[in-house]
Amino acid sequence: MFRFLENLVDPYQPYAEQDAPPRRLWPFLKDYIRPFRAVFAVTAVFSVGNAILDVGMIWYLSRLVDLMTGQTPQAFLENHWTEIMIAALVILIVRPLVAGGAVGLLHNTILTNFGTMMRWRAHRHVLRQPVGWFESDFAGRIANRIMQAPPAAGDAVFQVFDMAAFAAATFLGALLMLANSDPRLMVPLLLWLVAYLALMRWTIRRAGPAATASSDARSAVTGRVVDSYTNIHSVKLFAHQSSEENYAREAIEHARTMFQKEMRIVTKMDMALTFINGLMILGVSSLAMWLWTHDLATVGVVAGAVALVLRLHSMTYWIMWASTQLVQNLGTLAEGMETIAQPVTLVDKPGAKPLDFRQGLLELKNVSHHYGRGFGGLRNVSLTIRPGEKIGVVGRSGAGKSTLVKLILRFYDTESGEILIDGQNIADVTQESLRRQIGMVQQDSSLLHRSVRDNILYGRPGASEEEMIAAAKKAEAHDFILTLEDPQARRGYDAHVGERGVKLSGGQRQRVAIARVILKDAPILILDEATSALDSEAEAAIQGALYGVMEGKTVIAIAHRLSTIAAMDRIVVLEDGEVVEDGPHAELLRKGGLYARFWARQSGGFIGLEEEAAE
């Protein structure tokens, strides 16, 4: 039974992806609700049926009291035995089945699948965002919203059926029951309902913004705490534990203040509800007893009316609290939508085809990109890199080297100009097909918090064990990998490397990253200070391996240590976002320009960029 209920809706079913999801709540939820429409309809029927049976039991209590009045026990049992047995069967069989159907659909179908589906789709949407989008926010806050918003949406749907449908049916049933007994009994209940709805409106109007502010404050705490944990080496290195404590405390205290405001609203609501519920109990009960004293109502009517208002009294606290939670969940969802409903700004064009890679001719034509600021980045850069050609790129910090690489990888779209590979504008091909043809080793290559094997195979998941080990050997990584062991006693290639690879030294992490790129074997290779984290001996060994990997590939190597790129076919010098020099090492030295000054000023093989910039 559980498996049947759990599999009624597949949370991973195919769906139409949207580059720009709706930013308003109801349109946003409609796409998620669509696969659950039939389930929601059946759940609503069960919830209403459950409420009707609850009110029906109170009505039958009233009837029993009237039937028992004025009869001997023997006559009562003889005359109503069959009716009592039917009522017992309804209570023992029908009611549990109806209640069980509602609970099963709510808990096992809706709660387990609705949030899962939203989290899955939200994660896929966020993964499609460009690199620049992630650079503008805390990873912790993004993850927090992905984790919190979907279950909040699931809880909101749950509360609509568990609270709203059940409550509406209960109130309507109560009014009908009292009207059937004596229409005058409806008056105090209707007056109470007006006051109750007014109190609910007051609560929701204040609890919504308060819940959103509280949720925002909690996300800020998460962002600050994760920021400290992610940069724990810097925290320890600069002995800033106390300042990090104060930084977190400031956000934690703000979250506490926001939560206090939220709880004040809840307390006021609870006190007001207790008062108006007291008026309801006194009003309905007193009126029922007055009618009885004037022979206008039976004892059963009094008993039923009292039982009904006591039932409503206990239920109203749950409804009000559930309503408040519903608003809180909608506030959490609204906050999450700030992340998971943001449009994907860098997308494949409609009908984009995979890159048809032939030789590896790379051309930049009048490329400019300033990150929307009007300055920095690149300005009117034109550059041709022939198939199999190896170029070095040098320049001061901020000259545009990183921007050049990011544009080639299409982490950003150019603001003007175009980039072509084998005559195809990279803006017209699919992003994945473009990046499959490019391998890159960065200066600070972070690793996934997985095994060494998983990290190397990330370059080519279908590679064999032998191919993976061969790549590790070429990267001078195989020997140290065999000595690894993590706290869970996993060894060698099965050892986990920690978040961003923190359990490895910088040189070890870099060699694993190089092994990953070697295994990928992409025809275009980008090296961004690829050996900067290695000692001289390891660098010499890996340089040889990298030169082997470069064979037959189009290579772009960024370096401050000029000796590592002096043997390249050409060296491109960037200054203020423009190409100011371009040619072989020896030719640039003869010209006596910027590159020659870099070479003359380097110490131990490094460019004196800071000194040059200071001048």
Q: What is the per-residue pLDDT for 381?
A: 93
Same domain? For 299 and 428 the reply is no
Contact between 364 and 419 (Cβ < 8 Å): yes
- What's 585's domain CATH number? 3.40.50.300
Domain membership of residue 346 (yes or no) is no
The enclosing H or E element of 570 equals: strand 570-575
Contact between 477 and 508 (Cβ < 8 Å): yes
Same domain? For 305 and 245 the reply is yes
- Rounded Cα gap, residues 608 and 595, in angstroms: 11
Same domain? For 180 and 318 the reply is yes
Same domain? For 334 and 377 the reply is no
Domain membership of residue 242 (yes or no) is yes
Same domain? For 304 and 379 the reply is no
Same domain? For 265 and 359 the reply is no
Place of tokens 């960029």: 609
- Rounded Cα gap, residues 445 and 448, in angstroms: 10
Domain membership of residue 597 (yes or no) is yes
Domain boundary, last residue among 279, 306, 340: 340
Indicate the Cα dihedral angle 117, 123, 127, 132, nearest 10°: 140
Q: Give the burial class of 503: count Cβ atoms within 10 A of its Cβ; 0-12 exposed, 13-18 middle, 19 or more buried.
A: middle
Which residues touch 7 (CB under 8 Å, ≥6 apart)? none
Same domain? For 92 and 145 the reply is yes
Task: Indicate the pairing of strand 416-421 with strand 424-425.
Answer: antiparallel
Domain membership of residue 376 (yes or no) is yes
Amino acid letter, 501: G
> Tens digit of pLDDT for each residue in 279-334?
888 888 888 888 888 888 788 888 888 888 887 887 777 777 777 777 777 777 88
Structure tokens at 78: 């003889």
Strand order in the sheet with 362-369: 378-385, 362-369, 416-421, 424-425
- Rounded Cα gap, residues 228 and 241, in angstroms: 9
Q: Characterise 605 by phi-psi region: left (phi > 0), alpha (psi -120 to 50), beta (else).
A: left
Which residues touch 313 (CB under 8 Å, ≥6 apart)? 277, 280, 281
Contact between 324 and 267 (Cβ < 8 Å): no
Q: Helix 465-474 to helix 536-550 angle, to the nearest 10 degrees?
A: 120
Question: Domain range for residue 433?
Answer: 355-437+568-615
Q: What is the per-residue pLDDT for 481?
A: 93
Minimal CA–CA distance to 144: which of 167, 119, 107, 179? 119
Amino acid letter, 104: G
Q: What is the per-residue pLDDT for 203?
A: 81
Query: How many other C-beta atoms are found inside a 10 Å radius of the C-beta of residue 493?
Result: 20
Structure tokens at 523: 């025809």
Contact between 284 and 291 (Cβ < 8 Å): no
Contact between 214 and 257 (Cβ < 8 Å): no
The SS3 call for residue 234 is: helix
The SS3 call for residue 394 is: strand
> Structurally, how many domains does the chain consist of?
2
Amino acid letter, 175: L
Same domain? For 276 and 393 the reply is no
Q: What is the per-residue pLDDT for 287?
A: 87
Same domain? For 432 and 399 the reply is yes
- Rounded Cα gap, residues 29 and 340, in angstroms: 12
Which residues touch 590 (CB under 8 Å, ≥6 apart)? 596
Place of tokens 């982490």: 411
- Residue ranges, the chain, pLDDT below 70: 531-539, 541-542, 544-545, 603-615
Q: What is the per-residue pLDDT for 611?
A: 43
Domain membership of residue 461 (yes or no) is no
- Rounded Cα gap, residues 306 and 485, in angstroms: 70
- Rounded Cα gap, residues 160 and 167, in angstroms: 10
Q: pTM value? A: 0.73
Q: What is the per-residue pLDDT for 604?
A: 45
The SS3 call for residue 170 is: helix
Domain boundary, last residue among 292, 316, 340: 340
Which residues touch 93 (CB under 8 Å, ≥6 apart)? none
Domain membership of residue 491 (yes or no) is no
Q: What is the per-residue pLDDT for 81?
A: 87
The SS3 call for residue 192 is: helix
Report CA torsion sign: 302, 304, 307, 309. Answer: negative
Contact between 6 and 112 (Cβ < 8 Å): yes
Q: What is the per-residue pLDDT for 535?
A: 66
Same domain? For 382 and 422 the reply is yes
Same domain? For 191 and 258 the reply is yes
Contact between 302 and 292 (Cβ < 8 Å): yes
Domain membership of residue 470 (yes or no) is no
Q: What is the per-residue pLDDT for 472?
A: 92
Same domain? For 396 and 316 the reply is no
Q: Where would I find the H helices in 69-165?
A: 73-89, 95-104, 112-127, 131-135, 139-159
- Rounded Cα gap, residues 466 and 480, in angstroms: 17
- What's 186's domain CATH number? 1.20.1560.10
Domain membership of residue 347 (yes or no) is no
Q: Helix 139-159 to helix 299-340 angle, to the nearest 10 degrees?
A: 150
Place of tokens 């009294």: 313
Domain boundary, last residue among 310, 340, 370: 340
Q: Give the burial class of 221: count Cβ atoms within 10 A of its Cβ; 0-12 exposed, 13-18 middle, 19 or more buried.
A: buried
